[in-house]
Structure 1
Amino acid sequence: MTEFKSISIVPTAGQRFLDSCPDDEDTFAAGSFKRSFSSTSVGAAARLSALRKSQVAAATSNYSSVSISEAPEQPIYQVPSLADFIDNSKRIYTPHKLRCGVTVQVGEGVLEECPTVLRDLNHDLIGCLSVLPPSVRSLTRRTKIWLNRTYSFGPKSDPKNVKHTTAHHFAGWLYCVRDNPEKEESIEIYNASEYLKTRAHYNGGGLMLHELCHIIHQKVLPGGLENTMVSEIYKVAKESNKYNTVLRRDWAMKETETDMAYCIVNHKEFFAEISTTFLADFYHEVDGAGGHDMERSSPPIVSAAVIERIAESFGDGSFGKYQIIEDANRVIPHCNKFFPFTKGQLRLYDPRVYKCFEKLWKQIECWEDKDKRRCESCVWF
């Protein structure tokens, strides 16, 4: 059994619940509260759902909390049931199947506010499918994406508003924040408008690829999210201090262009982030540029906000050594937001991590998808 940090929810103290519930289950698992579960919790949703049906009605009728245990070795969650808590489990979504074969569950008001979002998601997912090995393409296509205009959770009197994109690993987290357990093992975009802005820092598909790598980590690698090789190389990378201060493309031409790499947050983010870089076998002109000069190291900049900042900084209508692509509709290969941005840069910057990820992705290439379903309508791959 693997010990995780966790949470204790007391619904009668709304603010305490809000403070103790982070933005997503990755943060939740790495927080300052105690819980434990094993990697076998995948697939326990059916048992959890049955228990939920028998217990939640009583819990909601008297506004108390209910403990849900998937199995003796599974997490125990205290599910908030107060009437003044936001209930996202009843949100209405309309399914849209993209040309690439992925189903997007579109929330209310999304397409009115972001009319191009499905087109851009399709482009991003085509890019993901083009770099992922054939072994996980069916898994990618059956991984649903939940798309919201906005999203808040917690007490109605003091909600927590979130705008990021996340991968949902377990139904227990979704029950914990009063959301739909059908989102288990899927990806959620909490704010469509924010997604369209953020994806530009990855040159399109890199942001979605990061989230898909979380699902691949859970479903494909031996041991799932507790894969030994990932955990060990994460510790090695963290202790090397190579990722404490790195360039980040969305901060180009700001007073500070460096930050701690997101991959150091925990072993799950390490796998997703380094995989995004490892699969970016593009922009070889910047392979040997090093990680100290943003102008020389960065692949083409496509973010309108960053391009504007660069232009203002030079002040003469030029962009210095920066590669700039101002056509927002142009589809180009992905890269990472944090250095190393590409596979070639990773190979030179951290050979030990690079070799480990070669082995990890070789395992993924050899994976046999027992749930593989043929997608008749997919025309791309």
Structure 2
Amino acid sequence: MFGRLFKGGAATPAAAEEPQAETSVPDSAHVPMPVEAAKAEPVKLSWFQRLKSGLGKTSSKLTSGISDLFSKRKLDADTIDDLEDLLIQSDLGLETTGRITAAIGKGRFEKGISADEVRTILATEVERVLAPVAKPLVIDPSHKPHVIMMVGVNGTGKTTTIGKLATKFKAEGKSVLLAAGDTFRAAAIDQLKVWGERAGCPVVAREIGGDSSGLAFDALKEAQASGADVLLLDTAGRLQNKQVLMEELEKVTRVLKKLDPSAPHDVVLVLDATTGQNALQQVEVFRDRAGVTGLVMTKLDGTARGGILVAIAAKFGLPVHAIGIGEGADDLQPFSAADFAHAIAGI
């Protein structure tokens, strides 16, 4: 169950016979031959298999580079320098790169080391960085509702992520209310309504250009009155003027606290893996101004820059609640440090 995860996949031909004389058979006696397999059922992949496939671009860049570096070559200072360049170009960050190269070089200089050994060390060190931040998104039943404010720049998949979370929570029997707080984009409002209809969750929405803080107030009031378990609040993501956006998010927070001093209970930043190093700046801005409490990273299947999640974890230490590798509701899953580390190392 998603909440629990967030809390805490010819017949052998008969022997040939002697030809027989053809006999006449009335048409009515002809019986259609059974179809052995009209259409084979598609093989359902496990989450790890999908994750490994989704991170294929990232892992292939790393693993092919490692294979090139460590095929018939002793480990020396030049090899370590080349490996550092490869890891940094893969967006793993300076801190993690240092940890990996130190672990690989320990006691192995001027000795041979296989590409497989290097990948194993890579996976081990990446998991060490990620394990402390792999934390579930906990829905506290003492809050009625538990308010989750979703933030992030336009295009990160924020509204889609809200829809996926709503689908998961609803499937667990939780009552969920959605709030279309990105009042400046008609597409975001319409998209959230579609997800709400799919998941069977009501959506609070207003006219285009309406006051987002007023909508948040109304949505929380409605959620309290209906006894909803979860309120998922979408917000604007315009970064053309960061000051105005951050002031707007701060106003939304102040308005929510008028009805529930403890709200919002989570402020989740949605990041797009394809933005690479730019994601580091987004985390810093939203953490400092919007009080981000956790992260979700999307679109890991569309980039060779998935290593940026490792750099973000090392630098900020913010909880990573979930990752996304596709458009379907099942393509957003709780974050596992071990699975991610093994997938990115191609193991």
Normalising by the residue count of structure 2, what TM-score does the alignment of the two structures yield? Answer: 0.20
Q: More helix per residue: 1 or 2?
A: 2
| Larger-gyration structure (1/2) | 2
Which of structures 1 and 2 has the larger relative contact order (alpha carbons within 8 angstroms, sep 6+)?
A: 2
TM superposition score normalised by structure 1: 0.19
